[in-house]
Amino acid sequence: MSPAPTARGTFITFEGGEGAGKSTQVRLLVEKLREAGINAIATREPGGSADAEILRDILLSGLVKPLGPKAEAILFSAARIDHIDRTIKPALEAGTWVVCDRFSDSTRAYQGATGTLDPRFLAALERVTLAGLVPDLTVVLDLPADIGLARAAARRGEGGRLDRFEAEDLHFHEALRQIYLDIAAAEPRRCLSVDATQPSEDVGHAVWDAVVYRLLSPPPLNEPAPANRPQDGNPQDGDSKDERHGG
């Protein structure tokens, strides 16, 4: 008799503007998952695989900026394809949970915030890049753009260099915050928006509650399943959760 197939891992992404505290939350969540006996890895975008890390350096240096947001979106997507193929998919297939600092919503938000890209271009690019892989849970860490930029500046310290996107103006960062809020509102089954002005422990509790409620607990008998569980059937809100983990 062949052994039972390994259950697929769960895919969780963190999103948000500059200074939202994603890296801290990724670390806290991976620690909690491991304490709960779940195999979990942390990864990030752009990057997360050897070749994608090379593209990360190029993208964040600003070298691609003169080619325009379309080229940047394509290059972020090229890095994402390698990251998915080399890191994310193999881990999920081995039953490992993957917690990723930024993913495809970053392209929607950052490249979308330029206001110069046709949304149909971004949607088509996302479709071919992800080939059906959709996060089971996306945590959007929300905070006003000016607070996030001030936090990022404090973290960088005096004399630290602004990277390609930190250097954009406040209007850009406000626009991308709004895109994230719109994504979270449009896809409530996949997304959870958390107030990131709270202390990081409180943000961590909110994230853990969502992981337990949406991803770990079985739905109680005689009660409708919670709206955000990825295994629910019958999407009513336009979420593409039925595609999750496809591809």
Q: Which residues bind ligand TYD (CB under 6 A)?
A: 18, 22, 45-46, 60, 76, 102, 106-107, 110-111, 163, 165
Which of 44, 244 has the CB closer to ligand TYD? Answer: 44
Q: How far is CA 151 from the centre of its chain?
A: 20
The partner residues of 193 in beta bridges, in order of sequence, read 140
Q: How far is the CB of 238 from ligand TYD (least distance, A)?
A: 22
Among 26, 23, 20, 42, smallest CA distance to 208 is for 26
Q: In angstroms, rounded to a whole number, what is the distance separating the alpha carbons of residues 177 and 183?
A: 10
Which of 33, 79 has the CB closer to ligand TYD? Answer: 79
The CB density around residue 186, as the number of other CB atoms within 10 Å, is 12
Which of 77, 96 has the CB closer to ligand TYD? Answer: 77
Single-letter residue type at 114: T
Which of 107, 228 has the CB closer to ligand TYD? Answer: 107
Sign (positive or negative) of CA dihedral 209, 212, 215, 217: negative
Q: How far is the CB of 45 from ligand TYD (least distance, A)?
A: 4
Q: How far is the CB of 216 from ligand TYD (least distance, A)?
A: 26
Q: Using CB atoms, what's the residue nearest to ligand TYD? A: 110
Q: How far is the CB of 136 from ligand TYD (least distance, A)?
A: 18
In DSSP notation, 155-173 reads HH-TTPPP-TTTTS-HHHH
Contact of 216 with 17, CB cutoff 8 Å: no
Q: How far is the CB of 102 from ligand TYD (least distance, A)?
A: 4
Which of 10, 107 has the CB closer to ligand TYD? Answer: 107
